[in-house]
Structure 1
């Protein structure tokens, strides 16, 4: 069986990203006819059409989408190799970090703090869903993923979950709410609550706590983002179950106060990595530093 021509694969990759033969040909500095011939040769080699034309737009077939996934992984490895081997030659290197979209910004900054401002390092921080970020991590498009839940089942295969810190959850409130409760039950009977959505572990544990203490809380809002939960709590419309790191600035400024801890409820923070032949050593340094701080 003839080996795959990676130059043809590169041409396909550029066309797939551009979605247009003319723009891809300009980007590659080749003629449109030559590019079209290279794509046809690759299709013959793979035994499947990779594009179908809709008007002036080229759209990937199912085989094309599968080929693009593999091409992304192949060229990501190549870029990672070049960047890694250039490290230590005086050139700035990249630290590519992914963070769950709903993860505490304060925690993200605390994790990155040891390397902020380093003249030899450029940090690229992006957010998304855990599924999306894990996919990019496996393709080596990210060096590390920050999240508050480890992957499970098949999703965990090949991924290393480093437990960085655990934060207890307390009911937080603005001083204007006037909550003086000494127990979760007393607080929840007297005041409404702002809760994370049912998709989070904190919400599941909070609901279980309410059942144990025999309280049906009055819910004024449900949000899927910790930053919004924090902002709503500042509006004094209700109590909010939050870890201290999320509202650290508000606690210091006095715009929020810790009313009472919620025993047995906590949020755990993780750094996800994959085994790599050329790992980014900065990630190891950050994970070690986070473990020592136990923020």
Structure 2
């Protein structure tokens, strides 16, 4: 049996992923004519067509979709092999690319990611912050190793990746010292008509929090919404309203922003996920990160 030409497979894979020969040529830094010739040679070798030609467009047919599925697995395994070998070569710097959605608390991420420096050999940690969909796009293009997010990957986003739950936490509510004592006595009902600082729609927290308030018949006055959770905390520090964070970072928030806890709830949960191309975590950085997160959330539950 003839050996599969992996160069041809790479050209096919790139065309299928990018959606056109022209875009694939840009990614691979070759001419469209080269891509077209290699693709034809690959189909001739297999004895089947992988695309239906619809005008000037190439559309994967049934055989093409099957071939793409195997190509994804083949190249994913190749990347895992490189990463594993690199992790065991103590003379090479291990580069760990992590995407972080901008709504995840940075102190929580920093605590978890610090474990990357426990890997054998020199480590270069590359952190990229952005919105959920942009980072998933980077993951699909293999530009990052995983995404840390407050929401899981759903079937509506067509990329091959898997959710790994890092942990979950209830919420803690804070106020400036002058208001904390008054609001603490009848929490959470004391929040009715009280000024509230809240995360924007980019976070899952907003909808969950508003649903909880409605269920207990409490209607705070929302005076500001924030994409940036750090900015929200600063406004809380200045006394402009109550705000909340995951309870797992409660000690840091009280110390850093000089505010007091007025109450907590487990009725609203914040969940955090590592989204990676691996069903089973084989990447050494991802595996260590998940183990660290599990220990961190477990230790907080015991407190």
TM-score by length of 1: 0.69
Number of residue pairs matched? 282
- Report which stretch shifted further, 100-109 or 130-139: 130-139
Across the aligned residues of Structure 1 and Structure 2, the Cα RMSD in angstroms comes to 4.6
The correspondence for 1:220, drawn from 209, 220, 223, is 223
1:65 aligned residue: none
Q: CA deviation at 1:150?
A: 1.3
2:151 is paired with a residue whose SS is coil
Partner Cα distance (1:256, 1:242) in 2: 12
The correspondence for 1:133, drawn from 120, 132, 135, is 135
- Which residues of 2 match residues 17-166 of structure 1 at below 5 A? 82-90=82-90, 91-116=92-117, 119-155=121-157, 158-164=161-167, 166=168
The correspondence for 1:173, drawn from 172, 175, 192, is 175
Residue pair 2:193, 2:219 contacting (<8 A) in 1 also: no
The correspondence for 1:208, drawn from 208, 211, 223, is 211
Q: Structure 1 segments of 4 or more deviating over 6 A?
A: 4-11, 73-80
Q: CA deviation at 1:216?
A: 2.3
2:64 aligned residue: none
2:196 aligned residue: 193
Residue pair 2:171, 2:244 contacting (<8 A) in 1 also: yes
Residue pair 1:226, 1:246 contacting (<8 A) in 2 also: no
Partner Cα distance (1:150, 1:218) in 2: 30
Q: CA deviation at 1:75?
A: 8.7
2:98 is paired with a residue whose SS is strand
- Report which stretch shifted further, 138-147 or 217-226: 138-147
Partner Cα distance (1:275, 1:249) in 2: 33
Residue pair 2:150, 2:204 contacting (<8 A) in 1 also: no
Q: CA deviation at 1:154?
A: 4.0
- Report which stretch shifted further, 94-103 or 187-196: 187-196
Residue pair 2:83, 2:283 contacting (<8 A) in 1 also: no
Structure 2 unpaired stretches of 5+: 12-17, 42-49, 53-57, 60-72
- Which residues of 2 match residues 230-241 of structure 1 at below 5 A? 230-241=233-244
TM-score by length of 2: 0.67
Q: CA deviation at 1:281?
A: 1.3
Partner Cα distance (2:188, 2:85) in 1: 58
Structure 1 unpaired stretches of 5+: 29-33, 49-60, 63-72
Residue pair 2:166, 2:293 contacting (<8 A) in 1 also: no
Q: CA deviation at 1:103?
A: 1.2
Residue pair 1:170, 1:244 contacting (<8 A) in 2 also: yes
